[in-house]
Amino acid sequence: MGIIDTVNHERLHNRSGKSMNILLQNKRTLNYVEGLSGWTTKHEKARMFETGLEALFFCFNRHINNMQILGEFGDARMNFTFPVTDLRGD
């Protein structure tokens, strides 16, 4: 890996060391999921999910509403939010 590749690789990695952090946030309160059942206002304490699908099922299995998945990259211009909508009609 050359110097340019190394620099680009480091720019794409963030606090978890992965290329993307996946978090869950309540759309109304803006609190983040912490651990298995807690909430926090602090971004750095938020639970990191391995995949967006894991985050999605976390909400579905606990019947948590008004959530959004946050995808965060080393380059903040690439960050995204994705609303979680449970269409099962429970």
32-84 tens-digit pLDDT? 999 988 999 999 999 999 999 999 999 999 999 899 999 999 899 999 999 99
Are the C-beta atoms of residues 43 and 32 closer than 8 Å to each other?
yes
Strand, helix or coil at 8? helix
pLDDT at 61: 92
- Give the model confidence (pLDDT) of 1-40 as tens digits: 444 433 344 434 455 556 899 999 999 999 999 998 899 9
Per-domain residue ranges for the chain? 3-84
What global pTM score does this model have? 0.74
